[in-house]
Structure 1
């Protein structure tokens, strides 16, 4: 590895770690300990776990005389790595009032210093260290997004409805384009990651697929269109729903996307900028796979497959509304052709999260990163307004269970030709 490449990786490490701490600058210590539901994690835990990742997978394995910062952290901040050992129960992470935030930040600083020394030394010429640091950075960026979605959920349960990011942006002077469809010819093509750029193991190997002729909507489904679905009894019509979805609607009494509430006859939505009136032309957000599937059936269309989405998206530059813009809510975007394939909202696909042909789980604990979750979840594509821009590429696969909706998830319609 050349000095230039080593410097570039060092700069990336410093920038990504600093970006995480910038995200918490408006949070109190009390904000950072709360866990609002089992699917979410406290901010403090995110800060510690991402640090533990660098310590566990790099420093312990590649520094012969390394001494753990605090041995108990291996139990407290391991997420799901069975190969490493027992861990604190996920639903109980909010009970970790100790160690305090100052201790966690000291932990981050100590590990940062050691990783920087490692990257700035001859040890970093080891290709595996470079690969693991890069993986650790992309892992941290995933947790930056989770940190934002988790604190949004926690704040939504506070009767004061606090804003993490008081709105500093005017609504864009644009109106959404009318819904239209762009046709794609049948094609034998290849999808999946390839080349020397970083990608997660679940994005490969690149493989051949045959894509039947299809058409893809020019934009995501809007809030205005979702209001039509609500007013037409979408949440009260069982024939629109998958059986498990209808059970979830009844169980949870869903009547609108998560964070929507009706006040004095009009709809509002809780956001990281506080409680705001619904932007009718912005993409609908915080919907489950079940809701997306039901809406598509109501509208007379279907969800896009991940293969179709990738075929369409690779023709477009991955520009979009991402975490770095600090808007942190979906916005309306006008334009010709396909718009908002990237950023603003993750788009549910009809594709189950499963391995590509030839996929092999890596040996050791790192192999537990993605492969063992390939069951019962659906793929989302495109990134959101709280996704770091550096993560986005046409092959990137996100995945969640079909009932989950606290992420920035939306949808785009498709149809057969």
Structure 2
């Protein structure tokens, strides 16, 4: 198992910065879980979601397995937990079935938190020791992995709370949103030609973001902002969920089998939606979210447009500052944009579905060893999303970041930006 070294020497101030970043991100996960009661952290509302307690334990297992486990003398305090908190790394051993993670009432939450503290201390000591050239890159990968699970922690507890008739509130003190009318939806054009996409190797990137390569982009256009709740509601009111010609075959089958009539968390009257702040009135100006690829594609067809490709999205996002309504804003809900000019909300608010399947780039090589299971083996039957959401940490996303989910998934903060041909 090897990763590209970050060039942090045993005497470098960057080693101190890495230790601080490590503890900051680890503590952030615990802060996100803090508003929950112990009972909340055990529930698993569907097979695609995981309990909060499992997220806290699994991210700790990751550091124990891939960082501390490099030392042949390291002895885990609870070796039987390896089976419980491995996710999908087949090459390092068997794992508890994903749909049954909610059955793990033991270990208790306080035991998991103690596990986190013990591993935190051990990893911080390894960073301070500075005798392993590959360790900084492995720690950074673990931190990026943890930030992914921070977002999943929020989306998974939202889905769990939405199943409760009491409609629990995750954070009543979240930053309030201000509803403002969006600017008119317009298209920003781009020319055809050879373009370059993929990570340039400077700073962290997951293996699926590279290698950087040239590809051809047809002339087209991309919308200046995401689709709003009001615009999607027009699709609903126009019978969009009842018109089979708008849907892909698998999408229409899903609409029929699941009884979809509106985005996830909207009520029957199309007046309110469930949020992490409880049930609230639908803001007509905010980006629509919690829609699947199937719904995004059907809406685009209804609107006389299409979804952008990931090549179009990335080349248009290149150079756009990574700022906006991300996890750090504390809103935990998409909000209307006050941006003027250019492309608005490219980062934050909602992950934006593209029409691109999640496949490898030319020349892609996964990481060696068990870490090669991280991204590459999922390049089948999934679609790429770009841009981050209101649950994504601001220092975790970038223009080259490739998120991916199956086309029926909609419990993530996923939305729509339109594209067109020219």
Counterpart among 12, 22, 39 of residue 3 in structure 1: 12
- 1:314 and 2:314 correspond: no
Q: 1:65 aligns with which of 65, 69, 73?
A: 73
Residue 3 of structure 2 is matched in structure 1 by none
> Does 2:369 align with 1:360?
no
**Post-superposition offset of 1:8:** 1.2
Match of 2:116 in 1: 108
Distance of 2:419 and 2:322 partners within structure 1: 20
CA distance in 2, matches of 1:170, 1:367: 41
**2:349 maps to 1:341:** no
1:28 equivalenced with 2:37 (yes/no): yes
Q: State whether structure 2 residue 306 is matched by structure 1 residue 302.
A: yes
What is the CA RMSD across the aligned residues, in angstroms?
Answer: 1.0
Correspondence 1:260 to 2:269: no
- Of residues 407, 416, 419 in structure 2, which corresponds to 1:411? 416
After superposition, the C-alpha distances for 1:266-311 in whole angstroms (9 at most, x for unaligned) are 5110000100000000000000000000000000000000000001
Q: Structure 1 residue 174: deviation in Å?
A: 2.4
Against the structure 1 CA distance between its residues 86 and 173, is the aligned structure 2 distance closer, same or farther, given a 3 Å change threshold?
closer
Q: Does 1:379 align with 2:387?
A: no
Q: Where does residue 397 of structure 1 map in the other structure?
A: 402
Is residue 224–residue 344 contact of structure 2 (8 Å, CA) maintained in 1? yes
Equivalent residue pairs, number: 412
Give 3-state SS (helix, strand or coil) of 2:189's partner: strand
Give the C-alpha shift of residue 168 in structure 1. Answer: 4.5
Q: 5 Å matches for 1:77-116? A: 77-116=85-124
How far apart in 2 are the matches of 1:221 and 1:160? 30
Secondary structure at the aligned position of 1:281 is classed as coil
1:357 Cα offset (Å): 0.2
2:51/2:102 contact within 8 Å kept: yes
Unpaired runs of 5+ residues, structure 1, are none
SS in 2 for 1:317: coil
1:53 corresponds in structure 2 to 62
Structure 1 position 217, deviation (Å): 0.5
Matched, 1:37 2:46: yes
Superposed CA deviations along residues 364-391 of structure 1, whole A, max 9, x for unmatched, are 1110000000000000000000001111
Query: 1:119 aligns to what?
Result: 127
2:202 paired with 1:196: yes
Task: Give the TM-score taking structure 2 as reference length.
Answer: 0.96
* 3-state SS of paired residue (1:260): coil
316-325 vs 42-51, which moves further? 316-325
Deviations 1:121-176 (A, max 9, x none): 132xx221111000000000000000000000000000010110115444325211
In 1, the alpha carbon distance for the partners of 2:202 and 2:293 equals 33
Superposition TM-score, scaled by structure 1 size: 0.97
Structure 1 runs of 4+ aligned residues shifted over 3 Å read 167-171
Query: Could you tell which deviates more after superposition, 245-254 or 63-72?
Result: 63-72
Q: Which residues in structure 2 correspond to 1:92-241 (within 5 Å)? A: 92-123=100-131, 126-166=132-172, 168-172=174-178, 174-241=180-247
